[in-house]
A and B are shown apart, each in its own frame.
Chain A
């Protein structure tokens, strides 16, 4: 993947409004890519089996040689070592910590070491210093879709909150500082907002119901723990729009932990970070056996890692949390069938 083609790849996301096809520039090799026929293939329920990888929540600081830099580097080499090689990588947000351009530039430099192309969405930590300006300059659109081997992939920015800063006269730095707190007292619940809801409706309008769909957002599409924004306030509308599909797999960052839920036709998986694990919030989980064990705070890699997701022809997915240390219970050590 030459630099120029990656830039094109990142730049040409949602310009067309509806499902964009990336054949040629998207795939590492033309043969691994059947995207041109994506929707039509899906109508006959055929996926050409493939694997993709997911990374998220690096929270890079604008501090040289920071420990989180090394953990992201490690996750990138881990993904590069996966065999067979993942066709591409998705990144689910919070690449930086305080929304600084230098954090995002550092993150992009590390992600560019991936041997396959990647697609990325913003998290709140990337965004609220300059309202996503630096992020968009580096990575392009905040929402996008593409077809790959018969699967329709969607990425959306789920961290948009109503303006809480103007009336209070907050500086961008103060606004970012508040958003950096998980339990922010003033920030309110976030979501994708009207514009992206409209976009989503248009995007899937002509996609047939038996098409396998995978959607990535920074936050979960269900009410896990709204106090920590382990939620997306307009997730009910998103779920309604996606209700016509036989099966949807949703993946999300932000929670920094293994968590699983099913709601309507959606199977939802929370992802490991490469920075620190969040504790499980004080709520009952329906799938409480799909959890990681508590981490040792003295081991800076405990509870962290990346992911690979393997899809077979019938859209059975094996979601594999690639935890650096051994904190997964036996039932999901080798992956979870989703």
Chain B
């Protein structure tokens, strides 16, 4: 949890540590609600990350044998983003989607793994998650899930 210290929590008014666990509480705040513009900007920032993730997802550059994530996971399908963290046999432990992404890069794609908090990794996670928008969280559900069907295009505006 050492990263927490470096982050700025504008809305957080108190941070209490109780028996080792970090609990963040938020108290009534005087701030005005976020403006439409602000919300639109934040949404656009997410979609930029999703689009970047889409490009990486379909790029052979992450691997060394020509394969891209999309070879086996078109539209981010079969990533089962709604089931993580869970015990994953290939990881041999309870792991996260990011760990599985790195496993896929390292093993089937024979590439170099990404830093877990790198812009690239966050973009990949954003893409995979966005393709499953609306799917109910189902920890460890042992059933492959397709991406949310969209008629054409990536299901979001590309620039």
Contacts and interface: CB of A to CB of B under 8 A. Distances in A.
A182 to B, nearest CB: 4
Contacts of B75: 182-183, 227-228
A281 B146 CA distance: 5
A281 B77 contact: yes
Contacts of A283: 146, 149
B108 interface: yes
Given A66-B65, A227-B151, A279-B144, A296 B74 contact: no
Given A227-B152, A298-B89, A185 B65 contact: no
B72 A278 contact: yes
B70 A279 contact: no
Interface residues of A, number: 25
B52 interface: no
A298 B100 CA distance: 11
A185 B150 contact: no
Contacts, number: 69
Nearest to B151: A227
Given A181-B58, A276-B72, A227 B66 contact: no
A63 B60 CA distance: 13
Nearest to A65: B65
A316 to B, nearest CB: 33
Interface in A171-192: 181-183, 185
A66 B66 contact: yes
A298 B73 contact: no
A63 B66 contact: yes
Contacts of A278: 72, 74
B151 A296 contact: no
B66 A183 contact: no
B72 A277 contact: yes
A296 B90 contact: yes
Interface string B120-159: 0000000000000000000000001111111111100010
A120 B108 CA distance: 28
A84 interface: no
Contacts of A296: 89-90
B108 A297 contact: yes
Interface in B88-137: 89-90, 104, 107-108
A224 B99 CA distance: 33
Nearest to B70: A181
B90 A298 contact: yes
Contact of A294 (B65, B90, B144, B153): B144
A22 interface: no
Given A66-B65, A185-B154, A280 B72 contact: no
Nearest to A177: B58
A66 B152 CA distance: 33
A54 B29 CA distance: 68
A185 B144 contact: no
Nearest to B90: A298
B71 interface: yes
A205 interface: no
Contacts of B89: 296, 298
A228 B70 CA distance: 12
A282 B145 CA distance: 7
Which of A66, A183, A185, A228 gathers most chain B CB within 10 Å? A183
Interface in A263-321: 275-283, 294, 296-298, 300
A67 interface: yes
A279 B73 contact: yes
Contacts of A182: 70, 74-75
A276 B89 CA distance: 19
A297 B152 contact: no
Contacts of A118: none
B130 to A, nearest CB: 14
A139 interface: no
Interface string B54-74: 000010000001110011111
27 contacts: A61-B65, A66-B66, A181-B58, A181-B74, A182-B70, A182-B75, A185-B152, A185-B153, A227-B149, A228-B75, A276-B72, A277-B72, A279-B73, A279-B74, A279-B77, A279-B78, A279-B146, A281-B77, A281-B146, A281-B149, A282-B145, A282-B148, A296-B89, A297-B104, A297-B107, A297-B108, A298-B90
Given A185-B153, A282-B148, A283-B149, 4 more contacts: A66-B65, A228-B74, A281-B77, A298-B90
